[in-house]
Chain A
Amino acid sequence: MGAKQTRSAQKYQDLTDKTGFSPEQIKNLHKRFQQLSDNEETISRENLEKIPALANNPIRKQIIDAFFDKRNQHQNEVGAFQEIGFEQFLMVMSHFRPPTLKTTEEEREAMRKEKLRFLFNMHDTDNDGTITLEEYRKVVEELLSKSGAIGLEAAKAIADAAMLEVASTNVPHMAPDDFYEGITFEHFEQILKGLEMESRMHIRFLDVDTMTMRCGKSKS
């Protein structure tokens, strides 16, 4: 028993180093993980799809896909998992850590890049390094998928306008027969410069165990 405890503590320590979460946060997330996976070692898509609160999310599919995307594991692998273990789960979650007061400028920059890369990978479904118009349309379509026919109709127009915007801001000088292939990561970074991803793309990971309370309305 004691050995097991130390082993799990050791494991948590490893995970802390890898993902930057605090041990408490990892413990919390682990609890949630077990709850989602019905105490199995791994989670499958079905497990995530069953979360009731996700049902109303227009981009549910992309979110779930992101969890099973090997590109989000920092290991230069491509493809998709069928099932993910806790470590992979944590790695995906670690993209949503907030910056702290101690974060240096370079770390912030790296964080921003990492978060943007996560978003980029969500859009770039075929992993060819660019978000093509096709893919972008798909994103907007999904985004508006809950708003019925108007949404679908407008989605194309919006994606097209957005794509054109990217093209014209990033490659202002184009020969008449040039073709803008799609948004590269650099361009992606460029267009989302104003959003301050490093400070906005985060959620609050609880330090204390509130699974029992479940009413953690948190103001920031």
Chain B
Amino acid sequence: MPSRTGSHSPAGFGKSLPERGLLLLMVLVFLEGSVLPLGAASSPDTSHQTNLGDHQGTHTGPNSTKKPFPVLAVEYDRVQIPFEISLWVLLASLMKLGFHLIPRLSSIVPESCLLIVVGLLVGGLIKLAGEEVPPVLDSRLFFLCLLPPIILDAGYFLPIRPFMENLGTILMFAVVGTLWNAFFIGGVLYGVAQIQPANPSDLHQLELLPCLLFGSIISAVDPVAVLAVFEEIHINELLHILVFGESLLNDAVTVVLYHLFEEYAGVGTVTLLDGVLGVISFFVVALGGVLVGAIYGILAAFTSRFTSHTRVIEPLFVFVYSYMAYLSAEIFHLSGIMALIACGAVMRPYVEANISHKSHTTIKYFLKMWSSVSETLIFIFLGVATVDGPHAWNWTFVTVTVILCLVARVIGVVGLTYVINKFRIVKLTTKDQFIIAYGGLRGAIAFSLGFLLNQDHFPMRKMFLTAIITVIFFTVFVQGMTIKPLVELLAVKKKQEAKRSINEEIHTQFLDHLLTGIEDICGHYGHHHWKDKLNRFNKKYVKKCLIAGERSKEPQLIAFYHKMEMKQAIELVESGGGVKLPSAMPSTVSMQNIQPKKPPPAKPVERVLPQLPKGREEEIRKILRSNLQRTRQRLRSYNRHTLVADPYEDGFSDLLIKKQRMVELEKKIKEMSNYLTVPAAPPDSPTMCRARLASGRDTDFKPAQQQKGNKKCSDPQAYSMKPVSDSVPTIQVDLASPQSPDSVNLLDEFRHAGQQQPEVEDQGLMMKPPSGPSGPNKPREADEARDQQKLMRCLSDPGPSADEDEDEPFLP
């Protein structure tokens, strides 16, 4: 193989590595399942690793003996560790990349299985080359570096609502279920070991405590494995959170059991007192972990309050505080996983309100990237460690363990669900139970814990490790691969992919209040009542402390609405800036179809106040202006968090280019006069909302405002601010505002509507803002029109339009 010879030249190998990786991937692509060619192909990949060792041996010679100045020195030792780490990460990433290039393969076999196979191959090749396999799944490395990103990712993006709603069930499975599994497996294993004294192996030497220790290691469902498998099967939210939540929360049980049994395995006996202390220790470990996490989470939230001037390091705070939480919990042997989960879940709502949109994106991507690389590495390492590990294969022990794991899980789930269903309102069906039982995958945490065991105290360590690996492989391969077809076979409800709509959000909130109200009327305090109390407390005190500025007062619904608006604004800018012109057009146009029917529903309101006197027009205008001011302020504070409205960060040239494109887009749209042939818009395209808002505002915003007006119009601030808005007549009405086409068109609609209206008095006022951009301005009250147009723009789209306001002065 040419690549193999190439790898002998030391300088060449660094360069050709990616190619070699690609080659390996290509081979993977073409010879999916067959192991042999795979091995041959990946040999170059590892052969350079063996070469590394050779180089170490050879290059020391010349260095010590020769005089001439070395033109090219080789000093691999210096970079060995980081270099090897990078190599592993690179390998992992390339693997991940490779699997996604083969859609058919990844739809059949879960990624985790493939990664383990790769790990096995790599490990095998290292071994074949006669090298010592690095202890890749060393417990320190695993628990301090590989695990935290995955858990933080899980904790930070934990769907809190379903999690809290099912907390009882999750805790039941996590605590009682894991305890049951541990003791059942441990106990029965001990029994099996005892009844077979004739067994040629030394199984009967096994004592009870090591058995229980083994049981506690093997019984915990592994979050990494569960995530890897469940993310691919897209199961419904309830089942996902049940299994995944269990895998997260059982950590405390595992930690306590592990330390308890490890402690006393040497001594040999566990007294009742130890048991009681164990129970206490469990609460300390679990609650302590949550407490540590929550403290760090609050600290992180509080810190993020003050980061508005140094946006770049914002994401770092999230990571560092979380990692600190994890490490702090580990110092005291508390549950680090629970600390991380608590930290992520606590900080998220506050941090998200404080940090900029870009930082949020950064956090999201970093977490996803880290966790996916970690996950990949863990599975590869699992494979490598399997090849490497000292094995002691004991048929009886391994078989019994695998069977017991399955049996214990099934009994545990069925038994617990029977109890839980008595309390649950949404009962768990048999199908659900099956998936929960079947989804109990074991993973690398168990292996790492087993790896931690001291050979002196546990002479059976090798056998334990072998059994653990077998169970992991069995669950990941057999269960992981079959769960997907089973889910489809059983027609288990899948997750709805649709994104949350504003209507759903409104009704979620509505439902919360409704159910709280009904509970109050019923007179007993269910969990809606307490949730409501908690929310109120959160709103009243916590948010004020942890969230900077006005956003602390923002109700959830409005926050959601802003988020949605912003997303659309970004989409709009992207679609305007990108090449997807056709996709942007239908949305702009179809708005026309929806738009005209909006004004009519507003009319009844206007009729309610038909006696609106002419003299109050001016007053209304003032109100509008003050309103405009307020809105602008609000939007500006909001703008800081948007992507598009950050001109100082983005660079103006960028924005100007975007704007230029908008103008072009707009022209094209104007040229297209036949909207009817254009297909419908996507459900909530930004333009529609904008148009909708614009029309909604200028037709019927006034009556409501007017009622408020008497009280509010004398706001001194509003007046002092008013000149500012008036003194900026430099606003170009035909700015590259993305919605000007809309407004132009809807103006026409308005004018028609206006002509049909008998109450020209009211309409006259309302027609003005639209008529501004539609052509030659009406001479009278040009300022007013401009003002209102600005208002319209501000109100309608805080995204692009707002940033226009901000960078006006820079326009030529």
Contact with A along B592-617 (1 / 0, CB 8 A): 11101110111011000000000000
Structural contact, B594 and A180, CB atoms closer than 8 A: yes
Q: Tell me if B514 and A59 are in contact (CB < 8 A).
A: yes
| B167 CB-CB contact with A under 8 Å | yes
Tell yes or no: B459 within 8 A of A by CB: no
| Residue from A156, A182, A210, A216 in contact with B601 in the complex, judged by beta carbons closer than 8 Å | A182
Chain A residues in 8 Å Cβ range of B503? 162, 165-166, 191-192
**Is A6's CB within 8 Å of the partner chain B?**
no
Residues of A within 8 A of B749 (CB): 176
- Picked from B426, B429, B510, B680, the residue with its CB within 8 Å of the CB of A139 is B510
CA distance A139 to B509 in the complex (A): 11
Is A201's beta carbon under 8 Å from chain B? yes
Considering only residues 659-694 of chain B, those with a C-beta below 8 Å from chain A are: 675-676, 680-681, 683-685, 688-689, 692-693
Distance between Cα atoms of A150 and B556 in the complex (Å): 12
B701 within 8 A of A: yes
Known contacts A150-B558, A154-B558, A219-B423; A165 and B502 CB within 8 A of each other: yes
Stretch at the interface among B202-210, B346-354, B519-527: B519-527
With A143-B557, A176-B592 as contacts: A57 and B684 at CB distance below 8 Å: no
Q: Is A20 positioned at the interface, with any CB of B under 8 Å from its CB?
A: no
A99 to chain B: which residues have CB within 8 Å?
Answer: 426
Do the beta carbons of A154 and B561 come within 8 Å of each other?
Answer: yes
Q: Are B558 and A147 in contact (CB under 8 A)?
A: yes
Q: Is there an interface contact between A177 and B701, defined as CB atoms closer than 8 Å?
A: no
Pick from B137-145, B179-187, B528-536 the stretch touching chain A.
Answer: B528-536
Query: Bound state CA distance, A104 and B534, in angstroms?
Result: 36
Which of A182, A195, A203, A210 is the one whose CB lies under 8 Å from B504? A195
Interface size on B, residues (CB 8 A): 87
The residue on A at minimum CB distance from B423 is A220
Asked if A214 contacts B524 (CB within 8 A), the reply is yes
The SS class assigned to the B binding surface is helix
Interface pair A210/B524, CB less than 8 Å apart: yes
Q: A32, A164, A182: which contacts B523 (Cβ < 8 A)?
A: A32
- Chain A CB within 8 A of B555 CB: yes
Residues of A within 8 A of B530 (CB): 217
A67 to chain B, nearest CB (A): 8
Q: Are A101 and B427 in contact (CB under 8 A)?
A: yes
Assess whether A204 is in contact with B684, with CB atoms less than 8 Å apart.
Answer: no
User: Known contacts A168-B594, A203-B522; is A158 also within 8 Å of B513 by CB?
Assistant: no
B579 at interface by CB-CB < 8 Å: no
Q: Binary interface profile of B, 531-551, with partner A (CB < 8 Å = 1, else 0)?
A: 010001000000000000010
Contact A220 B168 (CB under 8 A): yes
| B631: Cβ under 8 A from any A Cβ | yes
Asked if B169 lies at the interface with its beta carbon under 8 angstroms from chain A, I say yes
Bound-state CA distance A200–B426 (Å) is 8
CA distance A179 to B511 in the complex (A): 29
Let me know if B554 is at the binding interface, CB within 8 A.
Answer: yes
Within 8 A of A (CB), among B685-728: 685, 688-689, 692-693, 696-697, 701, 704
A180 to B693, CA, bound (A): 15
Question: Which residues from chain A contact B600 at a C-beta distance below 8 Å?
Answer: 179
Q: Judge whether A216 and B526 touch: CB under 8 Å.
A: yes
How distant is A59 from chain B, measured CB to nearest CB, in Å? 5
The reply to whether A150 and B510 form a contact with Cβ atoms under 8 Å apart is no
Which residue of the partner chain, among B169, B597, B630, B689, contacts A161 with CB atoms under 8 Å? B689
Minimum CB–CB distance from A32 to chain B (whole Å) comes to 4
Q: Does B518 contact A (CB under 8 A)?
A: yes
Listed residue (A148, A163, A176) with the most chain B CB atoms within 10 angstroms of its CB: A176
User: In whole angstroms, how far apart are the Cα atoms of A54 and B704 in the complex?
Assistant: 27
Q: From A29, A148, A169, A174, give the contact of B597 (CB < 8 A).
A: A174
B514–A133 touching, CB < 8 Å: no
Contact A201 B511 (CB under 8 A): yes
| Neighbouring A residues of B558 by C-beta, 8 Å | 144, 147, 150-151, 154, 158
A62 to B514, CA, bound (A): 9
Q: Which listed residue (A53, A164, A203, A219) contacts B689, Cβ 8 A?
A: A164
Binary CB contact string for chain B from 575 to 590 against chain A (1 if under 8 A, 0 otherwise)? 0000000000000001
For residue A35, which residues in chain B have a CB less than 8 angstroms away from its CB? 523
Residue of A nearest to B517 (CB): A63
Nearest CB of chain A from residue B458's CB, rounded to whole Å: 39
Expressed in whole angstroms, the minimum distance between the Cβ of B555 and any Cβ of chain A is 4
Q: For the complex, is B307 an interface residue (Cβ under 8 Å from A)?
A: no
Q: Which residues of B (617-673) have their CB < 8 Å from a CB of A?
A: 627, 630-631, 634
- The answer for the CA separation of A166 and B530 in the assembled complex, in Å, is 33
A74 to chain B, nearest CB (A): 18
**Residues of B contacting A164 with CB < 8 Å?**
594, 598, 684, 688-689, 692
Is A9 an interface position by the 8 A CB rule? no
A167 within 8 A of B: yes
Contact between chains at B523 and A134 (CB < 8 Å): no
| B402-427 near A? 1/0 per residue, CB < 8 Å | 00000000000000000001011111
Docked pose: A57 CA to B522 CA in angstroms: 15
Is A4 located at the chain interface by the 8 A CB criterion?
Answer: no
A127 on the interface (CB 8 Å rule)? no
Alpha-carbon gap, A98 to B536, bound state (A): 26
Query: In the bound complex, what is the Cα–Cα distance between A4 and B166 (angstroms)?
Result: 43
Contacts of B693 in A (CB 8 A): 157, 160-161
- Say if the beta carbon of A3 comes within 8 Å of chain B: no
- Does B496 have its Cβ within 8 Å of any Cβ on chain A? yes
Chain B positions within 8 Å of A181 at CB level: 597, 601
CA distance A157 to B165 in the complex (A): 31
A60 CB contacts on chain B under 8 angstroms: 517
- Whether A98 contacts B425 in the complex (CB less than 8 A), given A178-B593, A220-B165, comes out as yes
Question: Distance in Å from the Cβ of B39 to the closest Cβ of chain A?
Answer: 48
Taking the complex as formed, is A185 at the interface, i.e. its CB lies under 8 A from any CB of chain B? no
Evaluate contact between B696 and A156: CB separation under 8 angstroms. yes
Enumerate chain A residues within 8 angstroms of B502, measured Cβ to Cβ: 158, 161-162, 165
Given contacts A158-B557, A202-B425, contact A58 B513 (CB under 8 A): yes
User: Does the CB pair B596–A144 fall under 8 Å?
Assistant: no
Interchain CB contact under 8 A, A220 and B557: no
Q: Is A139 within 8 A of B529, CB to CB?
A: no
B107 interfacial by beta-carbon distance below 8 Å? no
Which residues of the partner chain A approach B676 to less than 8 Å between Cβ atoms? Answer: 175-176
Which of B506, B508, B515, B602 lies in contact with A162, CB distance below 8 A? B506
Is A91 in contact with chain B by the CB < 8 A criterion?
no
Per the bound structure, the CA–CA distance linking A191 and B505 in Å amounts to 11
CA distance A203 to B520 in the complex (A): 11
The CA-CA distance from A151 to B634 in the complex, in Å, is 12
Q: Does B56 make an interface contact (CB < 8 A)? A: no
For B697, what are the chain A residues with a Cβ–Cβ distance below 8 Å? 156
B264 to chain A, nearest CB (A): 33
Q: Please, how many angstroms separate the alpha-carbon atoms of A169 and B517 in the complex?
A: 31
Q: Which residues of B contact A101 (CB under 8 A)?
A: 421, 427, 429
Is the CB of B795 closer than 8 A to any CB of chain A? Answer: yes
Contact A165 B501 (CB under 8 A): yes
Interchain CB contact under 8 A, A205 and B522: yes
By the criterion CB–CB under 8 Å, are B526 and A157 in contact? no
Contacts of A93 in B (CB 8 A): 518, 522
Q: Does B516 contact A (CB under 8 A)?
A: yes
> Are A203 and B555 interface neighbours, CB within 8 A?
no
Task: Show 16 A/B contacts (Cβ-Cβ < 8 Å), sorted by A.
Answer: A140-B557, A154-B561, A156-B704, A160-B696, A162-B503, A166-B503, A168-B681, A176-B593, A180-B597, A191-B503, A192-B504, A199-B426, A211-B523, A216-B524, A216-B525, A220-B169
Q: A96-B515, A157-B561 are in contact. List 11 more A-B contacts (CB 8 A).
A: A93-B522, A100-B427, A134-B602, A161-B692, A165-B684, A168-B688, A174-B594, A178-B596, A192-B507, A219-B168, A219-B527
Residues on A close to B: CB < 8 A? 29, 32, 35-36, 48, 51, 53-54, 56-60, 62-63, 67, 93, 96, 98-101, 119, 122, 132-134, 139-140, 143-144, 146-148, 150-151, 153-154, 156-158, 160-169, 172-182, 191-192, 194-195, 199-206, 210-211, 214-220
Closest 8 CB pairs of A and B: A179-B597, A219-B168, A172-B680, A53-B520, A133-B601, A63-B517, A98-B425, A101-B427
